[in-house]
Chain A
Amino acid sequence: MVQNQTPTVHPSADEAVGREHTRPSFRPDIDIYETRDEIVLVADVPGASGDDIDLNFENGVLDLHARVRPRRAENAAYLVQEYGVGDFHRSFQVSEDVDSSRISAEISGGVLTVRLPKAAAARPRKIEVRSR
């Protein structure tokens, strides 16, 4: 079971290490589903490629950060602006027992898919009943 943490627009941890926050960051839209063997997180991070993704899993918290570079010249004024452009950031509390060594991720067309395999102990086990 994956639960959402309170969304943080400006992560305080980043400020502590002195990273600049001249541009705002955004909360990506996500889907989360669970199967017998794994938990799958799908996140929309348009504008980011594989090199731009930072994924960390520590103490049951999955931290996702996607860097997005500006796509227009700074002096070009918007005629219409309906969305902002900046990094994506979101954290998730994972309460299920996850085999962290086997977490994998792939990105395609601005969609990031993270697979969190359940630890063997957390998987449902079928217990066979023998008749005597």
Chain B
Amino acid sequence: MMVRVNRIPMPTPGSLAREMDRLMQSFLRPGVLPLPTFTEAERPFPPLNVWEEGDAVFVEAELPGFTMDRLEVTIVGNELTIAGERPETKLPEDGVYHRRERRAGRFTRTLTLTVPINVDAVTAEMSNGVLLVRLPKAETARPRKIEVKAK
């Protein structure tokens, strides 16, 4: 199942200081800006896994029970936002809960990528409750092989 991706062009660059900061960060950790660490109680939903494979960065989230129409993937410049909602389970009239661990409700998470992304080629897919967003790197960010000619 394909998820619709909203593409919004890169906003005008911020101040020089902000750009410098971003640049520094990308040296420290190429790929994405470091996410803050959380305690168990304030852990944001959903947890994300991000990795690099070939010419793309992959962002994955486990979203069981989330339906397509309530899931939104947006890319604004180099900021990826995943938002969605899981409806509450409808309990039958005579039903009584013994245990409730599954979370319901709205969520939104944003991730800043430090590699230039080809926004037009971003795709998102949902399979067995796992969302996978593929963000191909922009041509400028790909390693290029430079041929050396012998004279």
Contact = CB atoms under 8 A, between A and B. Distances in A.
To the question of whether A and B form a pair in one complex, the answer is yes
Interface residues of B, number: 40
A96 to B, nearest CB: 10
Q: Chain A interface residue count: which class? A: 20 to 34
Contacts of A60: none
B63 interface: yes
Contact of A31 (B50, B102, B129): B102
A78 B89 contact: no
B128 A29 contact: no
A120 B132 CA distance: 45
Contact of B98 (A32, A47, A83): A32
Interface stretch (B6-14, B16-24, B53-61): B53-61
Q: Which 8 A-B pairs have the closest CB atoms?
A: A110-B129, A110-B64, A82-B47, A79-B31, A46-B129, A46-B62, A80-B50, A83-B47
Interface of B: 29-32, 35, 47-53, 57-58, 60, 62-67, 89, 91-92, 94-103, 111, 126, 128-130, 132
